[in-house]
Structure formats: C-alpha cells, structure tokens
Amino acid sequence: MRILLLGYGKMGKTIEQIALERGHTIAGKIDIQNRPEMDRLGSDDVDVAIEFSSPEAAFDNITYCLKKGWPVVSGTTGWLEHRSEIENLCNEQSGAFFYASNYSIGVNLFFRLNRQLARMMNSQDYQRSMTEIHHIHKLDAPSGTAITLAEGIVEETESLSGWKLAPEDQEGYLQIVSKRIGEVPGTHIVRYESAVDAIEISHTAHNRAGFALGAVISAEWLSGRNGVFGMDDLLKNLD
C-alpha cells in the first residue's frame, strides 16, 4: 500500500519504519512545516492515510482526506467533539474512517478486561479511581485511552454518572489523575479500594512500537472497506 503519514513526530517515524518493514511504501510525510505538499498529491497517489498529528490539526486533516477519497486511520486524541461530523462526512462520501484512542492490541484487550472487572465490581463497596502517565510532550489530558477506560467503567457502574479530571472530584464521578513525566510512552492504572483491600489492574507500554504496529495493521484491514470502524471491528478477526 501507499501510505500517507499525517504527523511526522516520533509516532509518525515509528509507523514509517514498521510500514516499510511490512512491504508498504510512503506516499508522503506531512507535518506542520510542509502542509502545502499534501495538495500536490492526487486522489490516486494514496491508498490510505495514517493520521497522528495534533488535536488542532486532526479535524482538518481527516476532512481533507475523506473529501479526497483517501481512507483514514486516525489515532489523534483531543478533537473528538467533532467526531460525529467526521463520521457523517465519511458516510456522505462513501469513504472509510478508522479511529481508536489506542492502537495497541494489548491495550484493547485491557479495555475488555477493564469492562469485565467494572461489571463484576458494580455492586461492591469500593472507591474507583484511575491514573494515567505519559511523556511531557503529550498535549491533551486525560489521554484518549484513559477516557475510553473511564467510559467503560461508567457504563458498567450504576453509581457513576461520568468522570472528572483531577483535581476536580465529585461524588458519583470517576476521578482521573493525569501525570506528565519524562518520556513515558503510556501507563494506565485502574484502582478499586475499600477499607479492607485494594484491587488494581494496569497496562504499561514499553515503547511506541505496539501502537504503530496496530495502526499499520488497521490500515491494512481498512483496505477495500467503506464505513466507520474501530478496534472492536478489527479484533473480531482476532477472537
């Protein structure tokens, strides 16, 4: 496949390396410094775009690609207030759009474990909390992965109405603590605590390779499809 990279930071460079190892070619590498170069690409020059840019650029990048007829795999977080607009545009254009807050296969299995544990703990008297830790360059907080985890817990817990980002704390809401430390790729910890014990599950990424591989696999899977998809659709093939 000919892959257009939108966002060429550390994640984009890792995706490039894995894509080349898997036999793909890079149709272009677009970042804020060379954005006009994307206008020189024709509709037939790109098979799929993989978008890991910034919250400010994501909506325009994805819109451009869908109007150009390019399938898009996006992993940028912090722009999801516009997600319904993108999904509507995708359907109007008979395009293909794949979004995930985290492309790591391990994290997506963790999402399932998180929901199952939340369901089991629904009627138990435990205080629920979450901590997410990322590198100092991450612009949004909480992380998209933390939001996905929080939504899973809230949906399975009758006593919760939503989530709040610390230091804000409110009865009936799951509190998320966000930390930005060094070059940490990503750590997410879900904790249940009572007066007698505590239960904790966590996922720790050692590097960006797992995220990048998942994004490339998603781009391969998206080929030839139309519609709006996510990791649940991909993982059905892995069950």
For residues 3, 57, 59, 21, the Cα torsion angle rounded to the nearest 10 degrees is 20
The fourth-level CATH superfamily of domain 105-204 is: Dihydrodipicolinate Reductase; domain 2 (3.30.360.10)
Predicted structure pTM score: 0.78
CB 135 within 8 A of CB 185: yes
Q: What is the pLDDT of residue 238?
A: 58
Give pLDDT tens digits for 221-238: 998 999 999 998 998 865
**Domain 2-103+209-235, CATH:** 3.40.50.720
Beta pairing partners, 190: 130, 201
- The tens digit of pLDDT for each residue in 171-202 reads 999 999 999 999 999 999 999 999 999 999 99
Return the domain boundaries, the chain.
2-103+209-235, 105-204
pLDDT tens-digit map of 100-145? 988 988 998 999 999 999 999 999 999 999 999 999 988 889 998 9
Q: Which of 13, 29, 82, 138 is catalytic?
A: 138
In this prediction, residue 237 carries a pLDDT of 66
Instruction: Let me know if 134 is a catalytic residue.
Output: yes
138 is catalytic: yes
